[in-house]
Structure 1
Amino acid sequence: AFSRREVGISLLDAHAGSPSSALEMLRRHSQGHVMDELIEHLHEWENWSAELLESHLSYPVLMYYRSQHDRQSWLSALTTILDVSALLTIGIDEVPEKAAWFTFAIACHAAIDLGQVFATSPDDTQIRRLPHEDFIRLKEALIEIGIPLHDEDTAEERLAALREQYEPYVITLARYLQMPLSGWVDVLETADDWQTSAWNHKKQA
């Protein structure tokens, strides 16, 4: 189960960067003109999330196991998948909303159930992973790469409703397991893990 989990995380590196972000994933697929392949990946991530849910509920100790690569974790990967599928569910061109909704549903199920394993309450501190100013940056970046959100006037509100279903759980898990969460928008340009090594990271430190 650990090995299969890590395969999915490693594959996410080239698709969404390390650390991963929803915006970076959409940018790479849009610029590569492979948005149709994103639909296939949604099905793969749907299966990955379902297997993560079942294996980690059966063997909760797996949640403590760190990924073997820098700037990656199962929780960050799950959060990126949720962020991307939430964005696609509220609607962008070229990707059917229903395909994204199926992925969102099982990934959200995983976040909620795994978040309850340690009897920790969902975060109620109103931590905002996507404040309004970052949403504006996200919206403008999506327009720039040619995939604007549908019905932009209500997009932020609709996205917030979806985020509310999983963010309190992943925030609590991140705090409990001391695993940083992925962001919505990339703050700094960094090399993917496949482009670097632990030696490079030591030299940059």
Structure 2
Amino acid sequence: MLHDAFLLLVGVLASAAIVLTVASATHTLVVPRGTAVLLTRWVMAGSRALFDLRLRWARTYPERDRVLALFAPLTLLALPLVWLTIILAGFAALYWSLGVRPWQNALLDSGSSLLTLGFHQPGGVDTGVLQLIEATLGLGLLALLISFLPALYASYSRREILVTALECEAGTPPSATELLERLLRVKGLSLLDGYWHEWTRWFNEIEETHSSNPLLVFFRSPSPDRHWVTAAGAVLDSASLVSSTFASDDPQPSHAELCVRAGTLALRRVGDYFHMPYDPDPRPTDPIAVTRAEFDEACHRLAVAGAKLKDDRDQAWRDFAGSRVCYEQVLLQFASLTTAPPAPWSADRPIAFHRLPVTRRRARAGL
């Protein structure tokens, strides 16, 4: 009687492990949103811990970048291996609980069914049904992976197109001031709205793809000097500078403000998956990591480049700070989480968690 109860317990635990694994794979590969599945997060966290150990021997940023360039691809390959291993062990435990002896035969039955090799025949109707279910799961997981990987890398490629183009416009590393200087000389102020429109679409796609597939956050650019986080920071800061400091006769809001809004929402939505703390409704007077001296220097350079700036520089500073405070905390946390290359006003300064509300301060950014 005790032996039967033990076999039943093994069967129940094995079934639960299989169901949870299938749910993890389904939410990761199929559900179009960044669902917090524990198994997926554990694999990502375990992989990151191993890479952090390797980073202890990396002295320079190029060395760290070379190590971290492998983190996302290898983690992506580790996920299906973990899923297949748990399903293999789970079904082996089920076969064993149904009387397949010794345990080596139960393991071979599971492997034969999962990989659809067919070298082990079922010993009865009950094990035969389980083998059919396991083979279906194995084929289904393989089909999902085949369709998932091209879509993932297509999203990565679309993201990197504008990041690469920004190197020609904003320099290396990207700078908001340098970006505006070059745009003023090449396009002129009247044509900048089209530029913000292009980056607004980029932020909208970032929100959709990186919240659905959070592992994309860790895919690095082909060049160690480029990074999607520093690109986002340069564009958001340049749009904030335009909306706050540039003089305009048009009373309607410029598309630069919509670009800042799109970027803020995108960073926050993706940051929610990693439990990044931020104030959802910050005050315009809250301090920011950019100093007034840095702002004044940027204004001087823009004036030299031919920009027509507002006369009230104090109000322009307050407007700029009120715009940046909406996205700064999440931007700096992404720069830290992804180990982005140093860039002006983003990855070159620390995160000030003390500026957050106490209830949000307790949350921890990361995996």
TM-superposed deviation, 1:148? 4.0
Give, as a single letter, the amino acid of the residue that structure 1 aligns with 2:294.
D
What is the TM-score with the length of structure 2 in the denominator?
0.47
Q: Which residue of 2 aligns with 1:25?
A: 179
Q: Is the 8 A contact 2:244 2:317 kept in 1?
A: no
Aligned partner of 2:234: which letter? T
Aligned to 2:296: 136
Paired residues, what number? Answer: 184
Distance 1:95 1:172 in 2: 37
List runs of 5+ in structure 1 lacking aligned partners.
186-205
* Structure 1: distance between partners of 2:246 and 2:217: 33
Contact 1:5 1:48 in 2 (8 A): yes
Q: 2:201 aligns with which of 21, 38, 47?
A: 47
Identical aligned pairs, as a percentage?
Answer: 27
User: What's the counterpart of residue 152 of structure 1?
Assistant: 313
Q: List 4+ stretches of structure 1 deviating above 6 A.
A: none
* Cα pair 1:21 1:182 within 8 Å, conserved: yes
In structure 2, the partner of 1:102 is 258
Per-residue Cα deviation, 1:35-84 (whole angstroms, up to 9, x for no partner): 33322111110101100110000000000100112311111111111111
Residue 325 (structure 2) pairs with residue 164 (structure 1): yes
8 A Cα contact 1:129 1:183, kept in partner? no
User: Cα 1:63–1:33, aligned 2, differ >3 Å: closer, same or farther?
Assistant: closer
Displacement after TM superposition at 1:130 (Å) = 1.6
Q: 1:122 aligns with which of 262, 278, 286?
A: 278
2:236 paired residue number: 82
Cα distance in 2 for partners of 1:137, 1:31 equals 19
Answer whether contact 2:288 2:321 (CA < 8 A) is retained: no
TM-score by length of 1: 0.81
Of 164, 184, 196, which aligns to 1:10?
164
Partner residue of 2:339 out of 178, 181, 185: 178
In structure 2, relative to structure 1, the CA distance for the partners of 1:89 and 1:168 (3 Å cut) is: same
- What displacement does 1:177 show? 1.6
Higher relative contact order (CA 8 A, sep 6+): 1
- The aligned amino acid for 2:331 is V
Moved more, 92-101 or 13-22: 92-101
Is 2:220 aligned against 1:66?
yes
Instruction: Give the whole-Å Cα distance in 2 for the aligned partners of 1:59 and 1:38.
Output: 31
- Asked whether the 8 Å contact 2:196–2:259 carries over to 1, the reply is yes
Matching residue's letter, 2:344 = G
- Give 1:95 deviation, angstroms: 9.5
Kindly tell me: are residues 17 and 95 of structure 1, through their superposed partners in 2, closer, same or farther at Cα, counting changes over 3 Å? farther
Radius of gyration: which is bigger? 2
